[in-house]
Amino acid sequence: MSNKKKIVVDARFWGPKDTGFGRYVKNLLENLPSDPKIDVILIISDKLGRQKALSRYKKKLKARFHPYSLLAQFEMFRLLRKIKPDLLYVPHFAVPFLWRGKLVITIHDLIKHVSRGKKTTTRQPAIYWLKYCLYLILVKYAVNKADKIIVPVKYWKKRLIDYYQLPAKKVKVVYEGVDKSFLGKGAKLPFQPKTPYLVYVGNVYPHKNVETLLKAVKLLNGEVYLYISCARSVFWGRLEKIIDELEIGKWVTHIGFASDQELITLIRNSLAFTTASLVEGFGLPGLEAMAIGAPVISSDASCLPEVYGQAALYFNPHKPRDLANKIKLLLKNSQLRERLIELGKKQVKKYSWQKMAKEIWGLFEELLDKQ
């Protein structure tokens, strides 16, 4: 009979297709240390085919239902009863209600707690508020149930502790990392950007505050162009109306989806990568821009100053004029731009997926040793 300890990792969100969660799980599993005395068992989506990146994990069970569905609750409980793990790790807030064993979770942010209401959804109000209430119930249950909670920054640790009245020792800050792929040469763009230009990459939900970026472009009156890479959605439709109202269509281009290699080329040759976000979980796109070799102009809101340190040029996200002035600084001062690039390259070295995975593994071992 095996005396090995068993850790189950909920990897149903694995892969870049699920954006933030998926990339987080992918990088964690690719860098997670191993121990001959510990078995790591994955629960993966049944839609996930054979992945070479997961071949090191010999034990994988497939789950059919979406992690946020009611049926997934019963499915996970059935799988966990079958495995009988010593520890369960869930990289989000949808934990199995019926699980009574040791539990570690990652709470990436509380953005939905602060960015809510009609402007933040495409759903009917009744459906939205029902789902929002369920979300609050799930998060509250998860943070109270977990033995340890991982958060990506000190900013969210403080807010999580304050909001749910948690003991500080229950919450551990583990910084994320930057993919090495962003150190590549990049690929040729399918278009010729007009220079000088700014780049924004990411979704355009209201909390991303892209409207301030658009207003700054308006104030600069043709001194700079803006290229936005995001998926089309109702939120992009709303921004298009603002672009029309501001009459800045000749200076703003939506390029839609772009590959990582195309983004490397676009960002590296830009005046700066810019974000006006009001609240962020970690701010990974800005770090990726630093790794690529571009200066970053960032909002001074939420966790961004903590993550970017002295390597970004900050502005008040509620003041388009402040952003416009910071853009002008870079337009006029090439030495400042080069200095920010060098500071960015140093800042990025503070973060790595390997370090993140090692710290999380250490947390697992600590909990297993307490059994």
Domains and CATH numbers, the chain: 5-176+352-369 (3.40.50.2000), 180-348 (3.40.50.2000)
How much is the pLDDT for 1? 45
pLDDT exceeds 60 at position 17: no
Comparison of pLDDT for 45 and 310, the residue scoring more: 310
Query: Which whole number is the average pLDDT over 244-253?
Result: 96
Distance between CA 238 and CA 23 in Å, rounded? Answer: 28
Q: What is the pTM of this model?
A: 0.92
Strand partners, 312: 296
Distance between CA 10 and CA 24 in Å, rounded? Answer: 12
pLDDT exceeds 50 at position 210: yes
Distance between CA 144 and CA 161 in Å, rounded? Answer: 11
Backbone phi and psi for residue 249, each to the nearest 5 degrees, phi listed first: -55, -30
| Cβ–Cβ under 8 Å, residues 132 and 118 | no
Distance between CA 353 and CA 167 in Å, rounded? Answer: 27
CA atoms in the 13 A half-sphere facing the CB of 190: 6
CB-neighbour burial class of residue 210 (10 A; exposed 0-12, middle 13-18, buried 19+): buried
Q: How far is CA 294 from CA 45, 103, 173, 204, 269, in A?
A: 36, 40, 27, 21, 8
pLDDT exceeds 50 at position 330: yes
pLDDT exceeds 60 at position 275: yes
C-alpha 24 chain-centroid distance:
8
Residue 291 corresponds to which tokens in the numbers above? Answer: 């790794």
What is the C-alpha radius of gyration for the chain, rounded to an integer number of angstroms?
Answer: 22
Query: Which whole number is the average pLDDT over 336-351?
Result: 96
The counts of H helices and E strands in the chain are 13, 13
Q: How far is CA 93 from CA 45, 106, 151, 226, 244, in A?
A: 17, 7, 12, 36, 39
Interstrand relation of 5-10 and 38-45 (parallel, antiparallel or unpaired)? parallel
Give 95's contacts (C-beta < 8 A, 6+ positions apart). 88, 103, 105, 138, 141, 142, 145, 146
Distance between CA 289 and CA 293 in Å, rounded? Answer: 6
Query: Which whole number is the average pLDDT over 235-245?
Result: 90
Percent of the chain exceeding pLDDT 90 equals 73
Distance between CA 59 and CA 233 in Å, rounded? Answer: 38
Distance between CA 25 and CA 29 in Å, rounded? Answer: 6
Least confident segment among 38-47, 125-134, 230-239, 283-292: 230-239
| Cβ–Cβ under 8 Å, residues 174 and 152 | yes
Distance between CA 220 and CA 296 in Å, rounded? Answer: 18
Query: Which whole number is the average pLDDT over 195-206?
Result: 93
pLDDT confidence bin for 19, thresholds 50/70/90 = low
pLDDT exceeds 60 at position 16: no
Strand partners, 43: 10, 61
Backbone phi and psi for residue 273, each to the nearest 5 degrees, phi listed first: -85, 135
How many residues make up the chain in this entry?
371
State the chain's mean pLDDT as an integer.
Answer: 92
What are the pLDDT digits (tens) for 136-168?
Answer: 999 999 999 999 999 999 999 999 999 999 999
Helix 260-268 to helix 284-292 angle (10° resolution) is 70
How much is the pLDDT for 92? 93
Query: Which whole number is the average pLDDT over 20-42?
Result: 91
Helix 125-145 to helix 154-164 angle (10° resolution) is 100
Distance between CA 167 and CA 210 in Å, rounded? Answer: 36
| Cβ–Cβ under 8 Å, residues 264 and 185 | yes
What are the pLDDT digits (tens) for 98-141?
Answer: 899 999 999 999 999 988 877 777 777 888 888 889 899 999 99
Please give the DSSP secondary-structure letter assigned to residue 226: E
What are the pLDDT digits (tens) for 281-310?
Answer: 999 999 999 999 999 999 999 999 999 999
What are the pLDDT digits (tens) for 51-82?
Answer: 777 888 989 999 999 888 889 999 999 999 99
Task: State the virtual CA torsion across 96, 102, 103, 104 in degrees, nearest 10.
Answer: -170
pLDDT confidence bin for 200, thresholds 50/70/90 = very high
Distance between CA 321 and CA 327 in Å, rounded? Answer: 10
